[in-house]
Structure 1
Amino acid sequence: MLDAVVDAGAQRESRTSALDDLLVATASGDRDAFSRLYDETAARVFGLVRRVLVDAAQAEEVTQDVFLEAWQTAARFDPARGAAISWLLTLAHRRAVDRVRSVQASRERDLKAGVRDLDVPVDDVAEAAEIAVEHERVSGALAGLSPAQRECLSLAYYDGCTQSEIAARLGLPLGTVKTRLRDGMIRLRELLGVTT
């Protein structure tokens, strides 16, 4: 029984070493080595990707991407740092997780676009009233700033000037304008009761 366990371990180590050699040969452009590496590992890579993605078609695409990346980046593999199968499975897991995130982001984007395109009845009177109230709040808060801060913020937000344009228009150093804008925004947040 012990001999069988030792023999199985030796076979596994030999197979691991063979895969390492194939990946190293792939790094030097050996197409036959890459073909054998693919034949030996594709089922495991696909299996891992399929468990993460569930969808077989997407799993096939990602598996193809993994082997393309393996072909292109095989030179990064270092047998002293780990086994070839571990390296490939790490690539596979990363690619599969990236695909899940990409699909999720796409769904969220589509949902937001669908909601944005949806015609929602708007109460123009209530919206105008809210804008007027907010305008009064901001005007009152602006009055609480120093004249220098108020001038810089007005040029930036009402006139759409960049920091460099404000500096040129007021004949001030750029650093002074940046400080006035930063301090003015901090004070404005305090006056409006905005927490960050």
Structure 2
Amino acid sequence: MADPGNAEDDIDLIRRSLREPEAFAVLFDRHALALHRYAVARLGRDAAEDVVSETFLAAFEHRGRYVPYQADARPWLYGIASNVIGKRVRQELARYRAYVRGGVDPIEIGGGLVEHGVGTLAVNRPLVAALAGLRAVERDVLLLVAWVGLTYEEVSAALDIPVGTVRSRLNRARKQVRRALEGTEHG
């Protein structure tokens, strides 16, 4: 989200960066930490730096094609990050499975706590197993809504899919997660 104390919205920064490339650094400063937390939650600390770097590199390279549908660049940046993470889907699923087997988030094994509290996989094994069971496109929608707090419209813009598709994927993901969690209550 754009800094309320700063008159320059993300869209203005992106436009200015076309003339003054160094202006893009402000966008990085504004959003990198939140993107890093999201990448840590999805792939772990080791991969998060690379995801953020690749996200901002792609954003910088394609900033001329940014569609100014809103002043906040978060949906656009999370869409790029989701694509970067999607290329590492095996790594994400391996992380989920390791957590389910061992009961410990691989991030915590290194001695550090995850920065993002409830938004991490440290919640419980059944939830992690349910996330691992989702199709990648459903997992992306669910996590952008649940962990990042994007609206349906923002997820639509981020993933370049219709709002109706966001709703249906989110509905399927929620049902599947709910079924998976209900199956563990009695067991």
TM interval, short-chain normalised: 0.3 to 0.5
TM-score (norm 2): 0.42
Indicate the structure with greater helix content: 1
TM-score (norm 1): 0.40
Tell which has more relative contact order, 1 or 2 (C-alpha 8 A, sep 6+). Answer: 2
